[in-house]
Amino acid sequence: MKRLFATTFLLLLLSACSSDSENFNGDETQYQTIYRIPVVVHIVHNGEAVGSGANISYAQIQSQIEVLNEDFRRRIGSNAFNENEAGADTLIEFFLATEDPNGSALEEPGIDRVDGGRSEWPKGFLRNPIETSLKPFTIWDPEKYFNIWTVNFGGFASRDLLGYAQFPDESGLPGLNVDNGPDNTDGIVIGYKYFGSSEKGNFPDLIAPYDLGRTTTHEVGHWLGLRHIWGDGDCTYDDYCLDTPLSAEPSYGCPVDKITCTELEMTENYMDYTDDGCMNVFTLDQMDRMHAVLETCPRRKELVVLVQEPMY
């Protein structure tokens, strides 16, 4: 039952790409397929100078991309490395786009600065200007760019909000709807005070304990088809990954030896609600779900760039 979501296409592709080939020295080298995703970050501000308030700096954006690549590749020597037997290098990477939709080179790779004309952006069920106006009017082609918006969350409806994501469509995966939203809102939204890592630069507006970039890692997980580790319910609910233990609730802070169902919980998983400094695991089954999304889902499959990387 494990590795349930690896598709026939993936198996054939990896088989072709993993075959031995000879280099110029006569050595045999094996390769693995890397899924690379081009990113544009729409920095939504209210007229602040670059590097001030919601108009965050290019360095802060770079720090977040570094965190994503550490987390999704389980980089040795980074906060993302773990020795969990279910832990995975997901083979997914992110890079800042170099051209705008017109094909012109971007002065700041991967960045679109947007004066949103308001100091706060609420998110609510009855009226959500992020979904109804901001996203549709600023989104870049979601078949060519992974769209991320950074905003200043505010108002009662967004008081405790760190970020949110749009799930993929037509994945065929259990636990996901067929239709999860229109193409002109596809992407994730992150509060600018939680975007980037305080360990990679001087970004004074970042708020601990959510200052190491894991809010974005968590929301990208949703964008790639992952459910919360506790399945959004009690012990009878699941996240549809066999290698993530059941949990009856989200975890906060940095709990250890926590059990609410029958097994020790994986509170270090990126899809829980623990503090940034406590997260460092995506599992093999979570990896398989994300690969299935990148291979089959509208906008995801057109977006991803496949490259070959030597296996060491």
Task: Given the residues 66, 70, 131, 219, select the one marked as catalytic.
Answer: 219
Q: What is the reported pLDDT for 11?
A: 39
Q: What is the reported pLDDT for 233?
A: 97
SS (H, E, C) the chain: CCCCCCCHHHHHHHHHHHCCEECCCCCEECEEEEEEEEEEEEEEECCCCCCECCECCHHHHHHHHHHHHHHHHCCCCCCCCCCCCCECCCCEEEEECCECCCCCECCCCCEEEEECCCCCECCCCCCCHHHHHHHHHHCCCCCCCEEEEEECECCHHHCCCCEEECCCCCCCCCCCCCCCCCHHHCCEEEEHHHCCECCCCCCCCCCCCCCECHHHHHHHHHHCCCCCCCCCCCCCCCCCCCCCCCCCCCCCCCCCCCCCCCCCCCCCECCCCCCHHHCCECEHHHHHHHHHHHHHCCCHHHHCEEEEEECC
Mean local confidence (pLDDT), 194-221: 98
Q: What is the reported pLDDT for 157?
A: 55
pLDDT band at 160 (very low <50, low <70, confident <90, very high): confident
Mean local confidence (pLDDT), 200-224: 98
Q: Is 309 a catalytic residue?
A: no
